[in-house]
Structure 1
Amino acid sequence: FSADAAADLAASALNPSMDSWDQAPAASALEAEVTAALAAEVFPDARTPDALVTTGGTESNQLALLLARERHGAGLRTVVGADAHHSFRRAAWLLGLPEPVVVPAPHGTMDPAALAEALDQDGPALVAATAGTTDEGLIDPLPEIADVCAAAGAELHVDAAYGGPVLFSRTHRRLLDGLDRARTVTVDLHKLGWQPAAAGLLAVRDAADLAVLGHTADYLNADDDTEAGLPDLLGRSLRTTRRPDVLKTAVTLRALGRTGLGALVDTCMELAQDFADLVEKAPGLDLRARPTLTTVLFRPTGAEDETVAAIRRTLLAEGRAVLGRAKADGRLWLKATLLNPRTTPADLAEILTLVEGSTHR
């Protein structure tokens, strides 16, 4: 992890701005290479995939809705699962789109049959599926959802901010079958890519979809400069001044490659399984379910939600453990999201010891 931190420091020290080619010629060339390579990972069979660098999943999801709105107009309906990221509601509000239609997720993932019913209306729709839900790290049934979208003539976006880097894993990438059937995909390498923020991406199947972002400011991308072959960066983001964040990712890819990153993903997913094993063996703890990615939900047996919340706050306030919280099946759960491949079995056991100790205070 020292390489990406060093690259982040170098980006700060060099301080180029990615709003015009003359301010960042090397960084703009590097960004073009890296985004093309990552887009090809998401859409391996596409003829002209591309990707934009963003600040994270929220900006990527907003851009996906913006691109769809420009194709279909302000009457576009956004359809999301009940466990979709909150950014879709905010993006719809910012873009003047109707409030998203929410499809039930009875087992934590979008129900394809309910989706088909939601799409049985006139008018354009963008379905936003999730590969790595915030609360449980679950993956919507992407092949079935893609089939429903194709039958209804709806477009598909997948928010894979959390789960997208599983593509690097030869062992687990099958979990993302159907991802390449989307028109746009959000990925955030700040999570399972281990990049310092910001490290988001919006990948698109067809680079032509990005043309609507084109914008001209004579002092940044004059027409004659563009016609002469100078790269036009202003249409690569809704921001003007932006850091060369892609440098961090480029250094990491150079140092570890797909195989190295995939091994780190595999390690974290194995840690989640190991932690789930420990919870199942602990007599005073309940496990929500076996983890899909690297998120494990658990709680003290028979505890009230107020007790679960108090345990989390106590461990945070004492600086002993950082656990999240999530609602599932009407109850509050402690959430362990394992993203550090250097976590040891002793670390996992210590988390449970701390929770059990706080339970009996």
Structure 2
Amino acid sequence: MPPLAGGRGGAAALRPLLDTVLDALRTGAEERGGPFPAGGPGAGSDRVRAALGDVLPEHGTGDHEALRTLVHTLAAGAADPADPLCAAHLHCPPLAVAAAADLAASALNPSLDSWDQAPAASTIEALLTRTLAAEFYPTAPHPDALITTGGTEANQLALLLARERHGPGLTVLHGANAHHSIPRAAWLLGLPPATALPTPTGTLDPATLAEALAATPGPVLVTATAGTTDAGLIDPLHPIADLCDRYGADLHIDAAYGGLLALSPRHRATLDGIDRAHSLTVDLHKLGWQPVAAGLLAVPDTTLLAPLAHQADYLNATDDTEAGLPDLLGRSLRTTRRPDALKIATTLRSLGRDGLARLIDDTCALAQHLARLLDAHPGFTLHSAPTLTTVLFRPTHADDTQVATLRRTLLHEGRAVLGRTHADGRLWLKATLLNPHATARDLDTLVTLLEGSTHR
């Protein structure tokens, strides 16, 4: 019989398999040889098909061969965020300690839909969520948070809770800079179509918001952003909160990208006003260096989560709850869910507040350094100084077609992974720096690579 990952013999069964996995990760990275597999999507798919062959063979090949083949193939064909030249998206390189903790979660397989499936994991989650919520709502008496799969689920939950407070006529106002999950959540929840307000400067203008609030009858939820996906910009949170107070609107802040700045004494002031939100989205698989998924929806008072309460007799029978067994079903819209709190709690214990703050500060400083390099270079135009860790730039004399072609060429050759976005009517390359191990020399290498590719 194939061995199990848990139980008394689980650790012994896993140990030799881990050696195989680690070797395959190494050989796959060596075969890839850079941040991205060369050759484009067609060649990459061909390599995977050739390596896998029959996905469901008549007779199995055994644990070690299967792991060697699949893990090697995955690593060889991966976009590796641990490579300093892989900097396109909000896609962080996870810390080794977090990945190791995630292995334990997979081996034990707790499911946080009932206490009797996850007694220790449920307590770890409760302690973690309350602790993190208090970081964002330090003066609130009973702050709380839910673990989510990321910003999209957290934003959806925020709109759901606002709908339950105010009814299906709730109007959602958001800047054009908001994450796409905001209007999508309004559609999914049967709310009136969300209203996007223009953000020509990249952030939500309080004057524009004031006009919209004055013209919008009925209950309103305003969603602000602390760390836009395209440029890492932060809306003016205090003025927006002031307007919400004046017009009786609720405020949700999507801080999936920028929320962890609250843990950095150097950068915390950037988020002034964040504690005035009725709900708050944060992702720890961005500036928290966690394996996906590691999202959070925080609220200033746990009673705001009451609409999520749900009863299923086989999971949270009333008499069990009255007898003191914790009720977990109202902690998510999902039923089966992994103990993602474990890797986060392990990371916080390992690094401490000061260790995590150093990673955040170093990564922000790296973005500032890249911006200075590009700004001083005659061959590139910098869009603006970075707010977080996103740097927008373009070759000075290139048109939009050339900018797009340059990005795709670097991808096809497997030499660098950069993002793209439109701003001020033009297409810009986007470097999203989330690798705290990257160095100034790595940034010099990136600029040199771009120089060579631009002048071909």
TM value normalised by structure 1: 0.99
Q: Which residue of 1 aligns with 2:328?
A: 233
CA apart distance, 1:360: 1.5
Distance 1:330 1:351 in 2: 25
Between stretches 101-110 and 24-33, larger displacement belongs to 101-110
CA apart distance, 1:101: 1.0
Distance 2:256 2:209 in 1: 22
Distance 1:173 1:105 in 2: 24
Deviations 1:274-293 (A, max 9, x none): 00010011111000000000
Q: Which residue of 2 aligns with 1:129?
A: 224
Distance 2:96 2:350 in 1: 10
Deviations 1:250-276 (A, max 9, x none): 000101111111111000000000000
Distance 1:75 1:244 in 2: 35
Q: Which residue of 2 aligns with 1:321?
A: 416
Q: Which residue, 29, 34, 57 being the options, matches 2:123?
A: 29
Q: Letter of the 2:405 partner, please give it.
A: A
Q: Which residue of 1 aligns with 2:74?
A: none
Distance 1:196 1:84 in 2: 24
Distance 2:96 2:398 in 1: 41
Asked whether 1:338 is paired with 2:433, we answer yes
Q: Secondary structure at the match of 2:434?
A: coil
Q: Which residue of 2 aligns with 1:144?
A: 239
- Within 5 Å, give how 1:253-332 maps onto structure 2: 253-332=348-427
Distance 2:252 2:111 in 1: 30
Q: Letter of the 1:178 partner, please give it.
A: G
CA apart distance, 1:2: 1.5
Q: Letter of the 1:48 partner, please give it.
A: H
Q: Secondary structure at the match of 2:243?
A: helix
Q: Which residue of 1 aligns with 2:300?
A: 205
Distance 2:198 2:207 in 1: 10
Distance 2:319 2:353 in 1: 39
Q: Which residue, 286, 297, 309 being the options, matches 1:191?
A: 286
Q: Letter of the 2:162 partner, please give it.
A: A
Deviations 1:157-216 (A, max 9, x none): 000000000011000100000000001000000000000000000001111011110111
Q: Which residue, 188, 211, 218 being the options, matches 1:117?
A: 211
CA apart distance, 1:314: 0.9
Q: Letter of the 1:26 partner, please give it.
A: A
Distance 2:175 2:283 in 1: 20
CA apart distance, 1:302: 2.3
Distance 1:85 1:51 in 2: 20
Q: Which residue of 1 aligns with 2:48?
A: none
Q: Which residue, 142, 146, 170 being the options, matches 1:48?
A: 142
Deviations 1:103-136 (A, max 9, x none): 1212100000000111113200000000000110
Distance 1:351 1:152 in 2: 48
Asked whether 1:39 is paired with 2:133, we answer yes
Q: Letter of the 2:388 partner, please give it.
A: L
Q: Letter of the 1:84 partner, please give it.
A: A
TM value normalised by structure 2: 0.79
CA apart distance, 1:345: 0.9
Q: Secondary structure at the match of 2:147?
A: strand
Q: Letter of the 1:296 partner, please give it.
A: V
Q: Which residue of 2 aligns with 1:77?
A: 171
Distance 1:32 1:308 in 2: 47
CA apart distance, 1:229: 0.8
Structure 2 unaligned spans of 5+: 1-94
CA apart distance, 1:317: 1.5
Deviations 1:128-155 (A, max 9, x none): 0000001100000001100111101001
Deviations 1:301-356 (A, max 9, x none): 02111111111111111111111101100000000011011001111111111222
Distance 1:259 1:43 in 2: 20
Q: Secondary structure at the match of 1:119?
A: helix
Q: Letter of the 2:283 partner, please give it.
A: D
Structure 1 unaligned spans of 5+: none
Asked whether 1:350 is paired with 2:436, we answer no
- Structure with higher Rg: it is 2
Q: Which residue of 1 aligns with 2:345?
A: 250
Aligned length: 361
Q: Which residue, 100, 105, 109 being the options, matches 1:15?
A: 109
CA apart distance, 1:72: 0.5
CA apart distance, 1:238: 0.2
Q: Secondary structure at the match of 2:417?
A: coil
Q: Which residue of 2 aligns with 1:166?
A: 261
Distance 1:66 1:35 in 2: 20
Q: Which residue of 2 aligns with 1:64?
A: 158
Q: Secondary structure at the match of 2:221?
A: strand
Q: Which residue, 317, 327, 339 being the options, matches 1:222?
A: 317
